[in-house]
């Protein structure tokens, strides 16, 4: 797939002139680490977690079966905005790809005359930090102070700032507003009182316990912090929408809301279970989507987002130009109330965590079932994941020796098994692995055949190890190869931390010097003359 980089420049000359009618603005709002079932409109068991998101859902269309491709942030967001799976967009972990050789969403939009600005997660949203197609960064407020990602009112100032800058430039806008909550640190997680108060703080006795976890006083404390952070994130979404409404442009703005993956607790974030990838996707397209509509038939996913948004704003390849190569498929017809065939499954993939540790996985998800392949699982290798820094994980370690059920869950969490099969329609928490169930062998055969076909179609380098998955030596040979590749990359390439900070381990002094440079006034303008990234030869 990397050979497809040839002709990259030609791709960026395709954009037809904007139609004579007033162009649509785009506002994409994401929340970090938000489980779908933490949102009221998607069935949250705790009342009043997300009043602003619920209001947006009541005004637009929500998808009951929407999924992201990846269970961690940077790879997940790069799928959203490239329209490619990680093994094709090359962003499989938390590292930068300086010459990706393909255009991303903001390239198309900026070429078509859009003002493009982002608040938060800039380093996670494009193949490398300071990607030149952004017109501006909104990470600094109008007074040039750094915006606090946990401060909900600051999202009002940032959104207003971006809209005003686009209006001054005489351009339609594309704003990508990334609300940090409920990413850790949670509300009141530290030893000092949190200065950023949510509009409601939940208590330990009222929070629901996810079915993939267990009830424990300390786990309840962590869930209290999580759900209060969800509410604070919803406050931020409310401020974004308030700024849009006050601008007078809401009726000419398509709003998209989703999360990048599930909650940052064991069996959700950095996994490919149902609660890892299920995302609360909402689209409000004034005059097109019907208020309060629900699509409970079609499966859509993050890889479809970029081609969909291009269709929404009417950007089409100019006559004679090469078509962009997307792995995803536009679901724009679904926004208009139409139907689409071939939307009965999605495929997810995971490769590497923020520390550069490889634990590759692939998953097939349908409305009823989920299949997961874990070639790294050999009974000894332990998965490295950010969720091991949680209270919940530490409680699993402490309680496991006295509680066989928790001990079994801990063993699965750390070691997994090579293959997993779950009936999500009856077991969304993935508690009963059916891979050896006699009565589910037809489901196993159907899903593994579908995954193999997808691997062939998308050029997945895991195809051969998947075909040889029954042989431990095949799996170990594959793991030796990818672990060596990751080690070589870590020693010589710039990484991006989970929090979004650029880090170059091989040159720490340069990193420290860079952090001392004075910041530009906000918004940080990207010169229009900055050349686009060149394709690899």
Residue 516 — pLDDT band, cuts 50, 70, 90? very low
* CATH architecture of structural domain 347-495: 2-Layer Sandwich (3.30)
All CATH 3.40.720.10 domain ranges in the chain, comma separated: 24-342
316 versus 419: the higher-pLDDT residue is 419
**Residue 21 has which token pair?**
């009618």
Asked if the model's pLDDT at residue 90 lies above 80, the reply is yes
Asked if the model's pLDDT at residue 13 lies above 50, the reply is no
User: By CB neighbour count within 10 A (0-12 exposed, 13-18 middle, 19+ buried), where does 339 fall?
Assistant: exposed
Q: Among 250-259, 306-315, 484-493, 513-522, whose mean pLDDT is lowest?
A: 513-522
pLDDT of residue 191: 83
CB contact at 8 A, 27 and 256: yes
pLDDT of residue 497: 66
Q: Please state which CATH class domain 24-342 belongs to.
A: alpha beta
The 3-state DSSP class for residue 533 equals coil
**Residue 24 has which token pair?**
């649509």
Q: Calculate the average pLDDT of the chain.
A: 89
Q: What are phi and psi of 103, to 5 degrees?
A: -80, 150
Q: What is the pLDDT of residues 358-389, one digit of tens each?
A: 999 999 999 999 999 999 999 999 999 999 99
- What is the mean pLDDT of the segment spanning 19-47? 93
The label of the residue with tokens 């997940």 reads: 76
Which contacts (CB < 8 Å, 24+ apart) does range 217-225 have?
Answer: 218/391, 218/392, 218/395, 219/391, 219/392, 219/395, 221/391, 222/186, 222/265, 222/390, 222/391, 222/392, 225/186, 225/187, 225/188, 225/189
Asked if the model's pLDDT at residue 9 lies above 70, the reply is no
Supply the DSSP string of 193-207, one letter for each residue. PPSS--S----TTTS
pLDDT of residue 499: 63
Q: Among 235-249, 437-451, 511-525, whose mean pLDDT is lowest?
A: 511-525
Residue 227 — pLDDT band, cuts 50, 70, 90? very high
Other CB atoms within a 10 A radius of the CB of residue 472 amount to: 14
User: By CB neighbour count within 10 A (0-12 exposed, 13-18 middle, 19+ buried), where does 394 fall?
Assistant: middle
Instruction: Name the helix (H) or strand (E) containing 391.
Output: helix 391-399
**How far is residue 506's CA from residue 142's CA, in Å, rounded to a whole number?**
35
Of all residues in the chain, what percent carry a pLDDT higher than 90? 82
β-bridge pairing 524-525 and 136-137: antiparallel
pLDDT of residue 502: 53
pLDDT of residue 117: 98
Q: What is the pLDDT of residues 230-242, one digit of tens each?
A: 999 999 999 999 9
Residues across the chain: 537
Asked if the model's pLDDT at residue 410 lies above 60, the reply is yes
- What is the mean pLDDT of the segment spanning 3-25? 53
All CATH 3.30.1120.10 domain ranges in the chain, comma separated: 347-495
pLDDT of residue 316: 82
**How far is residue 436's CA from residue 235's CA, in Å, rounded to a whole number?**
46
Asked if the model's pLDDT at residue 318 lies above 80, the reply is no
Residue 7 — pLDDT band, cuts 50, 70, 90? very low
**Residue 33 has which token pair?**
């680490």
**Residue 85 has which token pair?**
């799976």
pLDDT of residue 21: 76
- What is the mean pLDDT of the segment spanning 121-139? 94
pLDDT of residue 321: 44
Q: Among 259-273, 490-504, 516-530, whose mean pLDDT is lowest?
A: 516-530
Residue 317 — pLDDT band, cuts 50, 70, 90? low
- What is the mean pLDDT of the segment spanning 278-300? 98
**Residue 327 has which token pair?**
């792995």
Asked if the model's pLDDT at residue 285 lies above 60, the reply is yes
Q: What is the pLDDT of residues 460-478, one digit of tens each?
A: 999 999 999 999 999 999 9
Asked if the model's pLDDT at residue 272 lies above 80, the reply is yes
Asked if the model's pLDDT at residue 200 lies above 60, the reply is yes
User: By CB neighbour count within 10 A (0-12 exposed, 13-18 middle, 19+ buried), where does 122 fall?
Assistant: buried
355 versus 293: the higher-pLDDT residue is 293
Q: What is the dihedral of CA 167, 168, 171, 175, to 10 degrees?
A: -60
């Amino acid at each position: 797939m990397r050979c497809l980089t040839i002709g990259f420049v030609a791709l960026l000359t395709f954009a037809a002139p904007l139609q004579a009618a007033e162009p649509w603005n785009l506002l994409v709002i994401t929340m970090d680490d938000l489980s779908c079932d933490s949102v009221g409109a998607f069935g949250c068991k705790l009342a009043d977690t997300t009043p602003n998101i619920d209001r947006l859902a009541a005004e637009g269309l929500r998808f009951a079966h929407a999924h992201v491709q990846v269970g961690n942030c940077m790879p997940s967001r790069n799928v959203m905005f490239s329209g490619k799976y990680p093994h094709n967009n090359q962003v499989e972990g938390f590292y930068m790809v300086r010459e990706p050789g393909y255009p991303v969403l903001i390239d198309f939009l900026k070429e078509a005359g859009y003002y493009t600005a982002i608040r938060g997660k800039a380093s996670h949203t494009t193949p490398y930090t300071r990607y030149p197609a952004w017109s501006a960064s909104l990470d600094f407020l109008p007074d040039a102070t750094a915006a606090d990602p946990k401060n909900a009112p600051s999202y009002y100032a940032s959104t207003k700032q971006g809209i005003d800058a686009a209006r001054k430039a005489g351009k339609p806008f594309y704003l990508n507003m990334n609300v940090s909550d409920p990413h850790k640190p949670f509300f009141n997680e530290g030893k000092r009182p949190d200065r950023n108060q949510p509009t409601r703080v939940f208590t330990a006795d009222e929070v629901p316990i996810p079915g993939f976890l267990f009830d424990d006083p300390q786990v309840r404390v962590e869930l209290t912090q999580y759900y209060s952070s969800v509410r604070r994130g919803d406050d931020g979404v409310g401020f974004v929408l308030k700024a849009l409404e006050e601008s007078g442009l809401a009726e000419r703005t398509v709003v998209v809301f989703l999360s990048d993956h599930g909650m940052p607790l064991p069996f959700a974030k950095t996994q490919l279970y149902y609660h890892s990838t299920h995302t609360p996707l909402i689209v409000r397209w004034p005059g097109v989507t019907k208020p309060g509509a629900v699509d409970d038939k079609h499966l859509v996913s993050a890889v479809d987002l970029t081609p969909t948004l291009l269709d929404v704003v009417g950007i089409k390849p100019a006559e004679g130009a090469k078509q962009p190569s997307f792995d995803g498929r536009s679901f724009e017809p679904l926004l208009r109330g139409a139907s689409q065939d071939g939307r009965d499954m999605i495929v997810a993939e995971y490769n590497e965590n923020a520390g550069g540790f490889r634990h590759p996985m692939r998953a097939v998800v349908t409305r009823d079932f989920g299949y997961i392949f874990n070639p790294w699982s050999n009974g000894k290798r332990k998965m490295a994941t950010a969720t091991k820094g949680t209270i919940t994980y530490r409680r699993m370690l402490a309680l496991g020796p006295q509680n066989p059920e928790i001990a079994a869950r801990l063993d699965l969490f750390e070691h997994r098994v090579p293959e997993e099969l779950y009936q999500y329609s009856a077991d969304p928490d993935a508690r009963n692995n059916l891979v050896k169930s006699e009565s589910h062998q037809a489901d196993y055969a159907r899903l593994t055949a579908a995954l193999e076909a997808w691997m062939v179609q998308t050029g997945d380098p895991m195809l051969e190890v998947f075909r040889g998955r029954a042989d431990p030596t095949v799996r170990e040979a594959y793991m030796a190869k990818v672990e060596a590749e990751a080690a070589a990359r870590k020693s010589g390439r710039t990484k991006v931390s989970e929090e979004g900070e650029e880090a170059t381990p091989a040159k720490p002094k340069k990193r420290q010097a860079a952090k001392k440079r004075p910041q530009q006034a906000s918004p940080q303008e990207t010169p229009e003359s900055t050349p686009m990234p060149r394709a690899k030869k």
